[in-house]
Amino acid sequence: MSFLWTNIKDVWFSLTKRGLVLTVKTIYAELRFDKKHGVDTSRRSGDQSDVEQRLKTTAVRHQGSNSVFFNLVFSKLNLDFANSVFIDFGSGKGRALVLAAEYGFKKIIGVEASEKLCRAAEENLARRRTITKKTINYDIINSDARAYKVEPEINVFYFFDPFHMSVFREVMDNIGKSLQSNPRKIWVVYLHPRGEDEILSPKYKLVDSKAHCYTVWTNTP
């Protein structure tokens, strides 16, 4: 019942904030995603049942990125994908990783607190490898996002509303430390904005945004 109620609330939010056309497109994309890609990334109640209680208080329930929003961002991003490394903090069942793989990133990384969801993401990426017959270089790490030590090769940092802003702030602090020791140009993509701008500005510059859908930031030199 609460699962149904959550879906109704999501649709209502989308209709009132994003309008009918985008809402219909996103629902259609959501319903088709798994069948089209040969994966299982759908939202189910109980998906995060193994996440530690300590993390549950700051975690947002599992839901895969909508491909419409993801493609709106990445189809416009002026990026050398073959030489870029993508990380998804709170990678869930790996839907964003499956989408990132389609853009041909050199490597994709998922960090996820739930071991169960990590295993699901691994399975989904393995299936994509079989279906596409392409090499997908990926790493799924079962960890609290705050404990993950940011690799210097990563230049695209992706968040789909995974946790409370207090956690996001700590993760951004870790990214800041990585930039200090290994200066480089990076992008921070945030789907379903909810106050990340207060943490990102003025250190980061807004390069793209769509109200109630996403924001894209880059670091200032």
- Other CB atoms within 10 A of residue 139 CB: 15
Based on its alpha-carbon atoms, the radius of gyration of the chain, rounded to whole angstroms, reads 17
Cβ nearer to ligand SAM, comparing 92 with 217: 92
Three-state SS sequence of 194-209: CCHHHHHCCCEEEEEE
Closest contact distance (angstroms) between CB of 112 and ligand SAM is 5
Closest contact distance (angstroms) between CB of 163 and ligand SAM is 4
CB contact burial 59-88 (16+ within 10 A = b; e otherwise):
bbebbbbbbbbbebbbeebebeeeebbbbb
Closest contact distance (angstroms) between CB of 221 and ligand SAM is 29
Cβ nearer to ligand SAM, comparing 90 with 105: 90
Closest contact distance (angstroms) between CB of 202 and ligand SAM is 26
Cβ nearer to ligand SAM, comparing 89 with 204: 89
Binding positions for ligand SAM, rule: CB under 6 A: 48, 51, 55, 59-60, 62-65, 88, 90-92, 95-96, 111-114, 117, 144-145, 160-163, 167
Provide the angle, in degrees to the nearest 10, between the axes of the packed helices 20-37 and 67-74: 100
Closest contact distance (angstroms) between CB of 67 and ligand SAM is 10
Cβ nearer to ligand SAM, comparing 49 with 220: 49
Cβ nearer to ligand SAM, comparing 123 with 161: 161
Closest contact distance (angstroms) between CB of 79 and ligand SAM is 18
Nearest residue relative to ligand SAM (C-beta): 90
CB contact burial 150-188 (16+ within 10 A = b; e otherwise):
beeebbbbbbbbbbeeebbebbbebbeebbeeeeeebbb
Of 171, 198, 166, the C-alpha closest to 186 is 171
Closest contact distance (angstroms) between CB of 220 and ligand SAM is 26
Cβ nearer to ligand SAM, comparing 91 with 178: 91
Cβ nearer to ligand SAM, comparing 27 with 133: 27
